[in-house]
Amino acid sequence: MLFICYPKCSTCQKAKKWLDEHNIKYTERHIVEVNPTYDELKEWYGKGGLTLKKFFNTSGLLYKEMQLKDKLPTMSEEEQIQLLATNGMLVKRPLVVNGDTVLVGFKEAEWAEKLN
């Protein structure tokens, strides 16, 4: 299982603590040092059954600076995935990939259901 996070993010810290408390093994990856690639994002988007917007860190500074709230609706899926692959800070975190399960953000009930 891949756990992609930003170590300074409090939500990521809570998620990591939850994984550890539930003895769930994972490989941790720093989202800025090793940004998800275009191919990874495309695969996870296809598997996860989530909307592409869910992959964007909509509360992030970069998202706001780039005025993506206004730009995303006019961009193609291809353009959005390419944009996500340019900077880890645009990607919502934590991000968990476990086989066909892709979880974005930390919702304890959802994680308990999908990862236990």
Percent of the chain with pLDDT over 70: 100
- Are the C-beta atoms of 39 and 47 separated by less than 8 Å? no
With 0-12 / 13-18 / 19 or more C-beta atoms within 10 angstroms meaning exposed / middle / buried, residue 80 is buried
Within 8 A by CB and 6+ apart from 67, the residues are none
Is residue 48 over pLDDT 90? no
Computed over every residue of the chain, the mean pLDDT equals: 96
Residue with tokens 């939500």: 11
End-to-end CA distance of the chain: 12
**CB of 57 closer than 8 Å to CB of 90:** yes
Verify cis geometry, omega within 30 degrees of 0, for the bond prior to 94: yes
| 91 CB-contact burial (10 Å; exposed 0-12 / middle 13-18 / buried 19+) | buried
pLDDT at 61: 95
Determine the average pLDDT of the residues in 60-89: 96
pLDDT of residue 116 exceeding 90, the answer is no
Q: What share of the chain in percent tops pLDDT 90?
A: 96
Average pLDDT of span 17-45: 97
pTM: 0.93
